[in-house]
């Protein structure tokens, strides 16, 4: 499970963002919490004090697609591990996002 927390840190960095800039972006995108509360939530996810929410995974995935940052096949398989029993049966190939 510790891998999940280092993954979110790497995904934020791959977007060229800091935890603070992600919190500000989330506020601009419509999160109704104060920026300091959004930031604290992100910090808790990154440190492992709170689980990485499905909403955060979805938001990062959308941002990665918008910015042309694609996760590695390993990261993709790990992100699907909770939704499928045998991702390796699909050959471990990551589908391309629609253009």
As a whole number of angstroms, the distance between CA 56 and CA 88 comes to: 25
User: Is residue 44 one of the residues assigned to a domain?
Assistant: yes
As a whole number of angstroms, the distance between CA 14 and CA 70 comes to: 9
**pLDDT at site 86:** 45
User: Is residue 96 one of the residues assigned to a domain?
Assistant: no
Residue 88 in this model has a pLDDT that exceeds 80: no
Given pLDDT bands bounded at 50, 70 and 90, which one contains residue 87? very low
User: Is residue 95 one of the residues assigned to a domain?
Assistant: no
User: Is residue 98 one of the residues assigned to a domain?
Assistant: no
As a whole number of angstroms, the distance between CA 56 and CA 47 comes to: 14
* Count of domains forming the chain: 1
| pTM: predicted TM-score of the whole model, two decimal places | 0.67
- pLDDT tens digits, one per residue of 22-52: 999 999 999 999 999 999 999 999 999 999 9
Given pLDDT bands bounded at 50, 70 and 90, which one contains residue 96? low
Average pLDDT of the residues of the chain? 79
Provide the domain limits for residue 63.
2-82
* 89 or 26: which leads in pLDDT: 26
């Amino acid at each position: 499970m510790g891998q999940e927390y280092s993954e979110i840190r790497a995904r934020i960095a791959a977007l060229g963002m800091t935890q603070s800039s992600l919190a500000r972006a989330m506020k601009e995108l419509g999160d109704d919490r104060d920026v300091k509360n959004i930031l604290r939530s992100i910090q808790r996810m990154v440190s492992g004090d709170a689980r990485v929410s499905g909403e955060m995974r979805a938001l990062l995935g959308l941002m990665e697609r918008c910015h042309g940052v694609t996760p590695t096949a390993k990261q993709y398989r790990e992100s699907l591990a909770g939704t499928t029993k045998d991702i390796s049966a699909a050959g471990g190939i990551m589908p391309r996002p629609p253009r």
